[in-house]
């Protein structure tokens, strides 16, 4: 365990005392593990894996596999054109062929309203209801804005 903890420390560019501060344990706890006086507790391992989620728990505990998880999740491209679902040639409501039916294809853009005086931030309010074609009416429940300084603002529609 000592060697794996040292690998984490060097890989993350930390000192043992910085690691202790990062995961919220006493500095002496790290020192005791590195001197092989003590083994890490479950709480210690849990804090370490919570703070460094990319660490492979199996590697940390059993020394199997690689140090970091290999994640190959395909995330949707938010800027790619929407994929249209196949539509039957006739609409069930009226039985007319699609060529005779005029479909609305414009996505309405949210209306940006000026912020109210006395609000906590100078960010504009966004109209909470947005209609999408061929879908039921949806409403916005909450808007969360994440800032680069790791703070956030939360807005609820009125």
Give the whole-number percent of the chain exceeding pLDDT 90: 17
Query: Nearest 5°: phi and psi at 79?
Result: -105, 0
CA pair distance 134, 25, nearest whole angstrom: 54
| Alpha carbon distance 47, 60 (integer Å) | 12
User: What's the pLDDT tens digit per position in 23-53?
Assistant: 999 999 999 999 999 999 999 999 999 998 8
**Is the model's pTM score more than 0.75?**
no
Q: Which CATH architecture has domain 2-62?
A: Orthogonal Bundle (1.10)
The SS3 of residue 153 is strand
Domain with CATH 1.10.260.40 in the chain: 2-62
30: buried, middle or exposed (CB in 10 Å: 19+, 13-18, 0-12)? buried
Percent of the chain with pLDDT over 70: 58
Instruction: Decide if pLDDT at 86 tops 70.
Output: no
Residue with tokens 């491209």, as numbered in its chain: 77
Predicted local distance difference test score (pLDDT) of residue 155: 79
CA angle 130–79–154, rounded 5-degree value: 50
Query: pLDDT tens digits for 130-156?
Result: 555 555 677 777 888 888 888 888 878
List Cα–Cα distances, 15 to 43, 50, 105, in angstroms.
20, 18, 57
C-beta of residue 113 within 8 angstroms of C-beta of residue 125: yes
**How far lies 60's CA from each of 4, 14, 22, in Å?**
7, 17, 17
Name the DSSP letter for residue 59.
H
pLDDT surpasses 90 at 158: no
């Amino acid at each position: 365990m000592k060697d794996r903890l040292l690998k984490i420390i060097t890989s993350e560019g930390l000192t043992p005392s910085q690691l202790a501060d990062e995961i919220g344990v006493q500095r002496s706890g790290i020192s005791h593990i590195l001197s092989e006086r003590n083994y890490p507790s479950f709480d210690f391992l849990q804090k370490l894996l919570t703070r460094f989620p990319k660490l492979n728990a199996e590697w940390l505990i059993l020394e199997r596999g690689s140090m970091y998880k290999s994640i190959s999740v395909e995330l949707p491209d938010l800027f790619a054109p929407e994929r249209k679902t196949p539509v039957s040639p006739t609409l069930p409501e009226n039985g007319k062929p699609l060529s005779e039916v005029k479909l609305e294809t414009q996505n309405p853009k949210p209306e940006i309203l000026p912020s109210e005086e006395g609000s906590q931030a100078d960010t504009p309010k966004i109209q909470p209801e947005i209609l999408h074609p061929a879908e039921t009416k949806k409403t916005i429940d909450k808007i969360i804005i994440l800032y680069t300084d790791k703070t956030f603002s939360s807005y609820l529609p009125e």
